Amino acid sequence: MALQHHHHHDPTNQGMFSAPHDPETSDDHAIVGPPLQSDEAKVLKSLIYPDDTYTSEGTYWADLPFGKQLAFNAKVDRAEAAKELRSTGYMIKEDPLSPVAWYFKNAVLPGAGLGLEGYVLFSIGNVTPLFAAVWPSCWKNYTVCTKTWVDAISYLEISGIIVGQIIVGFLGDGIGRRWGLIQDAIVMFIGLLMLVASWGTSLNGWVICYAWALFFYGIGVGGEYPMTATAAMENATGSGKVSTKEDRLHRGRKVTMAFLMQGWGQFFNQSLLIVLLLIFHHGSGNPPYSAVAAQWIFRVSFAIPALGTLWLVYYRYYKMPLASKTLNAVKKKARVTGYDVQSLNLTCKHFGGRLIATAGAWYANDVFFYGNKLFQSQFIAVISPGNKSVMTGWLWNLVNVGVSLCGYYLASFLIDNKFIGRKRLQQLGFLMDFVLFVVPGWDYSYYTTKAHIGAFQTMYFLSSFFNQFGPNSTTFLVAAEVYPTPVRATAHGVSAAAGKLGALTAAIVFTYTDIVEKFHFVPWFGLAGMIVTFIFLPDTTGLDLKEQERRFEYIRAGREQEYHGIAVHPHHLSVWERFRGAGKSYNPELDYIDKVKDIREEWTNRQAEKVASDDLIVFDDEYPSEIHEYFVRTSSVPVVQKKNTPLGGGVDSDETGNETGNEKNEKANR
């Protein structure tokens, strides 16, 4: 889309700006910012033109010709990888186990809730074959138990998750992230106690109790989706006005590292069930299985995560006091208490296409995701005909989970690469799943013969890999990333609920179809997901999250057309948004003028607040020291330095509540 040719005088009177051109033009016509020789430009360069997204001339990476885009981003990625390798080397030299501690803090703890829920939810499917083997009159023949209630186990579980995703998503935006995280853990803990203690005067009574316990537990699980995604993302971003390289280069990795704990939950559950079967079945995995052994296996398997969930309640209550910091800062600026209804209305108006993308793609993905799980029994029946052992199915599932974990980790590794990114990764995953399901469905009898069973097995495992490598990881990330902070949890919860409707669709349809019809039904959701992603999903890879917030502030103020920054760069907009003209206002020259004005205005307001609250400190923890010093020299705002207070910016506190540099300085002053 060609851009209008504008000329504006440099606010520093140092010359004319370069005129913007179309992002896809030649090397000699890349869009550049203003000259950087003025004092103002030199001081603000690191803030307005960070070197990981802008060239030394002030050109945004997406405005470069394609070849130079690849070269620029490859250089940035190599430098960042080298820095991380050096840091890892220093850590290992100082303490060989410190990388493990780093991973535990940055991936395991943020994703602990998803790990625990993944353990429990997939345990339901794993223990079902054991129940069917021990109580066939209840779980297979339905002579003792009502088939409706046995089927209701899956339906109530998914329904509980949907309720939690929607309700906790709204409450997480209205009350706060920290509250949502704590209540999720409490609900899941109580739900696990109900599962461990589930009983009845008859087998059918126990099934009913078991189903409602899963519904209650599912509410906590549902809330975990929007709360974990928003907390992990906002912790990576911070609540200050200054964006960070960590946000721009590693935001996707930070969120997906938390999400992949769901895969580890599945892995540990399946591993533990195998061990428990050997313990309580006298070292054998072969049938027949006793009712006593089955009771011990499933109750112990639920009791263990109950202990972990109780610890999670403690950790979130006492060690995550700042989980709502970013949300509170945004609400304070907008002068909003409670739920921000205005932001919800504006999001529906301006980002409705994105909701189609995140909800629609998640719906399509969960048909695939749960289709893969539901096909597991048929898959095992084909490769192990005549098998009666629960252990065989569990061992094959363990292999499948291992393959899935490879997909999770590779997605986490590549999701911030600007050439691959969220959108292409999601499209690739959908396309590959479409192919890997449609091929065996085209000639099922051919691929399930003994001579071609290897090909069938390979396609099944690859479908697991590409589902995690693509849409199952990306949908979790983008459903939080493409929306404004005030409604981020709501939008994520609604999108995730749409996904669970896809799971419910799969569960219901598969009840009334045979295996070949299932293979004919599922692939088209991969094709639909790819199309929805292409049309409606913007590519936010490498896009500064705070810049998206800045754009939303303009929208909130009714000045949408006055925003000219990179959040409306055509590269970061969906096909639908470009069609509607959202990218027409992109203009780096005008954006520079606006950014300088916005930054100075925010700094001035901040100083006024400090003076009004008697917090008279000359440094500001939201801006680097050299920028703060420049504003002090060129501003009439009164600032007073506290005795012994160092000049310079601080660092935001992390999610664990550790002291920041500013907190330590204040303690020293006191």
pLDDT digit string, tens, across residues 125-175: 889 889 999 999 999 899 999 999 998 898 899 999 999 999 999 999 999
**pLDDT for position 591:** 93
The region of weakest confidence among 63-67, 87-91, 342-346, 596-600 is: 596-600
Asked if the model's pLDDT at residue 235 lies above 80, the reply is no
Unique residue bearing structure tokens 């939303």: 552
264 three-state secondary structure: helix
Tokens in use for 515? 């295996």
CA–CA–CA angle 419, 425, 426 (5° rounding)? 140
**pLDDT for position 83:** 94
15/149 Cα distance (integer angstroms): 76
Report DSSP state, residue 106.
I
Mean pLDDT of 452-460: 87
DSSP string, 625-651: HHHHHHHHHT------PPTTPPSS---
Of the chain, the end-to-end C-alpha distance in Å amounts to 58
The tens digit of pLDDT for each residue in 427-448 reads 999 999 999 989 988 888 888 8
321/653 Cα distance (integer angstroms): 10
**Beta-sheet strands, E only, within 436-550:** none
Mean pLDDT of 576-586: 94
Mean pLDDT of 291-301: 94
Asked if the model's pLDDT at residue 647 lies above 60, the reply is no
Mean pLDDT of 540-559: 92
The region of weakest confidence among 21-25, 387-391, 450-454, 511-515 is: 21-25
**pLDDT for position 43:** 79
Band of pLDDT at residue 665, cut at 50, 70 and 90: very low
The region of weakest confidence among 82-86, 121-125, 198-202 is: 121-125
**pLDDT for position 268:** 95
DSSP string, 60-99: BGGGS-HHHHHHHHHHHHHHHHHHHHHHHHHHHHH-TTHH
CA distances from 267 to 120, 395, 399 (A): 11, 11, 9
**pLDDT for position 26:** 41
Q: Is 417 exposed, middle or buried (0-12, 13-18, 19+ CB in 10 A)?
A: middle
Report DSSP state, residue 32.
-
CA distances from 66 to 78, 419, 473, 584 (A): 18, 10, 27, 21
The tens digit of pLDDT for each residue in 498-513 reads 999 998 898 888 878 8
Band of pLDDT at residue 648, cut at 50, 70 and 90: very low
Spell out the residues 6+ positions from residue 139 whose beta carbon is closer than 8 angstroms to its own.
128, 131, 132, 145, 150
655 within 8 A of 322, measured Cβ to Cβ:
yes
**pLDDT for position 19:** 35
Tokens in use for 424? 């292409």
**pLDDT for position 241:** 54
Tokens in use for 377? 């029994």
The region of weakest confidence among 11-15, 232-236, 377-381 is: 11-15
In the chain, % of residues over pLDDT 70? 84
**Averaged pLDDT score across all residues of the chain:** 84
252/422 Cα distance (integer angstroms): 8
- Closest by CA to 210, choosing from 131, 289, 267, is 131
- Closest by CA to 240, choosing from 556, 661, 588, 664, is 661
**163-194: b (≥16 Cβ within 10 Å) or e:** bbbbbbbbbbbbbbbbbbbbbbbbbbbbbbbb
CA distances from 78 to 58, 99, 417, 420 (A): 20, 20, 11, 16
